[in-house]
Every structure is written in structure tokens, then in C-alpha cells.
Amino acid sequence: MEKRVIILGGGPNRIGQGIEFDYCCVHASFALKEDGYESIMVNCNPETVSTDYDTSTRLYFEPITFEDVMNIIEKEKPIGVILQFGGQTPLKLALPLKNEGVKILGTDPVAIDIAEDRKKFSKLLEKLNLNQPPNGTAFTYEEAKKIANELGYPVLVRPSYVLGGRAMEIVYDEESLKEYIEKAVEVSPEHPILIDKFLEDAIEVDVDAICDGQICVIGGVMEHIEEAGIHSGDSAMVLPPYSLKKEIVEEIKESTKKIALSLNIIGLINIQYAIKNDKVYVLEVNPRASRTIPFVSKAIGIPLAKLATKIMLGKNLKELNFTEEIELNYFAVKESVFPFNRFGNVDAVLGPEMKSTGEVMGIDKSFEIAYAKSQLAAGQNLPIRGNVFISVKDKDKPHIISIAKELEILGFKILASAGTGKVLSEAGVNVKIIPKIYEGRPNILDYIINDEISLIINTPSGKKPKKDIVSIRTIAVQRNIPLITTIPGAKATLYAIKKLKESQLNVIDIKEYYKMRKDGGNN
């Protein structure tokens, strides 16, 4: 009889846990079959490739709950269960299954516990001499207030008992903190809230790596386009980094290897970092397949989830001939797509809670074109001429000047709200000030409805946005006008538009890119 391995799938798609995890499960199944194992898939999502009849040796169309999974384990008697590929769904079963004596393949569930337990996690980072944003845990409102004051606003607050950025918020002052605790979450001895110093304007980075316990190889370092504070599942990312210093990228890679080896990772690991004033902070460690594994795998041409499966079954990276990181001489940009147009009057703004349903990739030899492609693929029709409406929060006003100037040079006409317009005009930009909604007619809404606006740059203020700011963004989404809500996003868009004006978009088979790699696609 062949040896059997059970793979637990990701269950229903939802925001935060989508096709990326199914992709990883399917790769696990392929890897098992390649190496002569019987692969047993458990999943209940009919939309997926993992529940196709010929993906695995056997398929159980069942709920992913303790009872249903245990029943299958008793019947199949597998040599082990893989649960680091299906997102949070199977991970929740790690300890209950382990307690029943089920062998969990790959990284020990203890590592998951260390990564998720705040105290143990801090201790680990301290031991490895790595930084983490100053933080604390509050059991009462009074405590929360005290911790926030000590750390200094803004702070990132979230309940300790939820995952995936649910109910996570950036709080800018005491009043908002009070409101958050009163309205959004319960705080009690059973349900503490976690408070982190929020690193404003930091650059965030995601790293995916693979480790066999002996060596750790970096899959990819992805620099986020949007600044810190936007959920990594919603942020655009570029692989390799386009603006970070070489030393910083090296430091990030070294830190990743240190963490992976000290947690004794057998399989995949994802780590999120923030960089502020050239200092690297560790934000989060996920000892499992992350949402970005398919993106990285496609960008570098290496099936990371497949390799990870083989490692879980006892092979090492040397045997698998993957001991060196792949260096790219092209850029891959991941952009997210959002369902705002489905939900009527909701504000189309990004934050620490994930809202995107899916992703696209733009790939090219130049970063600007790769970014432009990612925008087109995500449905943002970048204009190369027309009117740009700009309205940004005070903090962003100094940064918008150079962007507006360049847009003007590119032939765009600049329209702005009064506040932003004043700053731009003083800086020498030829700007037409138009009223916001409720400030007279014709206002921005009239311009939008008359199709006279081809791009909107509108950054939300940290505090609760004013009513009409919501409307501008909401209308933009309803009317499918390209909308940019962050300064780094505006910069990247500017570069992309510039490049689009001077060159054509070329289409290239992804396999041609792999041949362009520095290793000639031989890995």
C-alpha cells in the first residue's frame, strides 16, 4: 500500500483567505503524487481546483471541522496531515488534531504558538537581537489609555482574539481610542487588546522564504507601494524592491533566515517588516504558506509550495536543488482588486483591515511599466491626458506639490479643492480650484458626473473622514474613475503614466522572463 498524506484545504473563499491557499493545496497534492504518495484532499469549496476530481488520489467533499477531519483520518490512516497550506481554516485544527495523536507534517504547531503569542514572540525577537515596534497589552480602557500615552500616538489597536486584521484600527488620539473601545471591541481580562506604536510613513516589506531546518532560502522580498498601515493583502507590492537600500534588503534577508532557523521551520514562512529611518522592525511572523506564495512563485518561476511539501516529507533543499535565492532582472507588481462597487455607499479607502477579493500581476523589465500593467489589469484605466482632481490631507500637502508639477508638465490640467489648491498655487502650479460637495456649484461631483475628471488623488485624513470626502471616493468607484488614496500610490502612478506616454506596452510569455533571470532559468 502506498503511503498516504491528508491535505486540509482552505474552505470557503472569503476576504483574507482566497484562491492563493487553494493554489498551495493543489501544489501540495501534485508534489505528493510526484513523490509516490497517495494524496487525500479534504475541502468543501466547489469553486476550486483542489476539489476537482483528478487533482488528488482521493477527494473528500467534507466540512473542515475537527469531527469531519478526524473521521477521515481514522478511515485513511495517513502518515501525516498537511495543514500549513489552507490558511487559517486548517491551522485552527493543529492543536486539537495533535492532541489526538495525529502527526502534523512540517513546522511543529509550537512554532505557530510562538508566532501568535505576544510574549513568546517578543522574547524570541529579543534573543535574536531584532527590533519590534514598542507595544503593550491592555485589559481595561484605563490601561489602554496609559499604554497609548507611553507609546505616543498614533497607535495600532486590535483585539487579541481575532486574526486577519479584523477590527484593527490606527488610532490618532485619546478620543478616537475611547470611541474604538466603546464601539468596535470589547476589552476585558478575557479579551485584552493589543496596542502597537504605529510607525507612520514607514515602508512595509513582505518576505516569503522556505526552510528545511538546516538552511533557509529567500523566495522573494516584496516592497509595498502603499505606506505602513494598509493591510498587506490590500497593498500593491513589487518584487524585487524598487526603492530600498541594498543594505536594508540584506538585513531583512538575514533576519528572515535567523527567525526561520530559530523557529525550526520545516516548509514555508512569511515575515512582515516595516522600515523607518533605515531601521528594520519585525511586524509579524507567519510560519505557514502566505497569500503571496503564488505571486512569488510565478514571478521567480519556482513552485515554492511544491518544494515545501517535499521538505515536509523529509527531503532537503539541497536534494531539491534550491539553495540559492533567485535574482530577478525584471519586475513583478502585485495589485489588489476591491469590491467597493458592490456595496453602495461605503468609503473606498484602504486601512489595516483587508478588503480586497483578488489580485493581478503586472510584469515587465521596467518597474514603471510593470506597475502600469498591474493597474490596467486591476481595472484602473490610467489616463495619459485630461483633468486630475487633487484633494489631500494636510500632512500630505507638501508631498503632493512635486507630483502635481510633474502631472502638469505631462499635460494634465490640475483641479483641486480649496485647501490643496492653495498650497499648489503658492508652489507655482497652475491650478483651478473647484468646490467640494456642499461648497457650491458646479462642484467636484458635477465635474465627475460630466466625465470631466480622468484621475482622482484623494488621501483620507487619519480621523473619521468628513461626509463629502466619502462621497468623492464613493462616486469615483461607482463611475470607475481611477482613484488613488495614498501618496506613494500617486507617485507610482505618476511614474507609470510618464512611461506610458513614451513607450508601448509589450507582451511577453512568462517563460521568456524566466530565461532572462541571472541564472538563465536553470534552477
Partner 1 sequence: MPKRTDIKRILLIGSGPIIIGQACEFDYSGSQACKALKEEGYEVILVNSNPATIMTDPDMADKIYIEPLIAEIVAKIIEKERPDALLPTLGGQTALNITTQLYEMGILDKFKVKLIGANYYAIKKAEDRELFKKSMEKIGLKVPKSGIAHNLKEAEEVAKKIGFPVIIRPAYTLGGTGSSIAYNIEEFREYAEVGLKASLISEILIEQSLYGWKEYELEVMRDLKDNVVIICSIENFDPMGVHTGDSITVAPVQTLTDKEYQNMRDAAIKIIREIGVETGGSNIQFAVNPENGEMVVIEMNPRVSRSSALASKATGFPIAKIATKLAIGYTLDEIPNDITKKTPACFEPTIDYCVVKIPKFNFEKFPGSLPYLSTSMKSVGEVMAIGRTFKEALQKALRSLEENFFGLEDINLKMELEDGLRIPNPYRVFYIKKAIKEGKTIDEIYNLCKIDKWFLSNIKEIVDFEKEIEKFKNREIDYETMKKAKELGFSDRQIGKIVGKSEIEIRNLRKRYGIEVDYKCVDTCAAEFIAYTPYYYSTYEHPEVIKLE
Measured distance CA(288)–CA(268) in Å, rounded: 5
Strand-pairing partners, residue 415, are 389, 432
Using rule CB under 8 A, residue 172 touches partner 1: no
501-520: contacts with partner 1 (CB under 8 A): 505-511, 514
Taking the complex as a whole, the smallest distance from the CB of residue 241 to partner 1 amounts, in Å, to 18
Alpha-carbon dihedral sign for residues 206, 210, 213, 215: negative
For residue 120, give every residue at least 6 positions away whose Cβ sits within 8 Å of its Cβ, in sequence order, or none.
113, 114
10-39: contacts with partner 1 (CB under 8 A): 11-15, 18-20, 22-23, 26
Of 377, 391, 356, 395, nearest to 235 by C-alpha is 356
Using rule CB under 8 A, residue 351 touches partner 1: no
Measured distance CA(305)–CA(303) in Å, rounded: 6
Taking the complex as a whole, the smallest distance from the CB of residue 160 to partner 1 amounts, in Å, to 17
- Residue of 325, 359, 368, 468 interacting with partner 1 (CB under 8 A): 359
279-308: contacts with partner 1 (CB under 8 A): 294-295, 298-299, 301, 303
111-170: contacts with partner 1 (CB under 8 A): 166
- Residue of 48, 272, 286, 309 interacting with partner 1 (CB under 8 A): 48
Using rule CB under 8 A, residue 358 touches partner 1: yes
Q: Which long-range contacts (CB under 8 A, 24 or more apart) does 91-99 make?
A: 91/288, 93/8, 93/64, 93/65, 93/66, 93/69, 96/66, 97/66, 97/69, 97/70, 97/73
Measured distance CA(318)–CA(416) in Å, rounded: 58
Q: How far is CA 296 from the centre of its chain?
A: 12
Measured distance CA(282)–CA(61) in Å, rounded: 39
Using rule CB under 8 A, residue 361 touches partner 1: yes
Using rule CB under 8 A, residue 65 touches partner 1: yes
283 by DSSP, 3-state: which?
strand
- Residue of 64, 105, 151, 216 interacting with partner 1 (CB under 8 A): 64
Taking the complex as a whole, the smallest distance from the CB of residue 71 to partner 1 amounts, in Å, to 5
Taking the complex as a whole, the smallest distance from the CB of residue 466 to partner 1 amounts, in Å, to 15
66-95: contacts with partner 1 (CB under 8 A): 66-68, 70-72, 75, 89
465-504: contacts with partner 1 (CB under 8 A): 478-479
Using rule CB under 8 A, residue 49 touches partner 1: yes
Stretch that binds partner 1, among 189-197, 240-248, 260-268, 374-382 (CB under 8 A): 374-382
400-459: contacts with partner 1 (CB under 8 A): none
Please identify which residue in the block is written with the cell numbers 510584469.
363
Taking the complex as a whole, the smallest distance from the CB of residue 344 to partner 1 amounts, in Å, to 6
Taking the complex as a whole, the smallest distance from the CB of residue 223 to partner 1 amounts, in Å, to 17
What cell does 342 get?
458592490
Question: Which amino acid is residue 255, in one-letter code?
Answer: S
Please identify which residue in the block is written with the cell numbers 495600532.
156
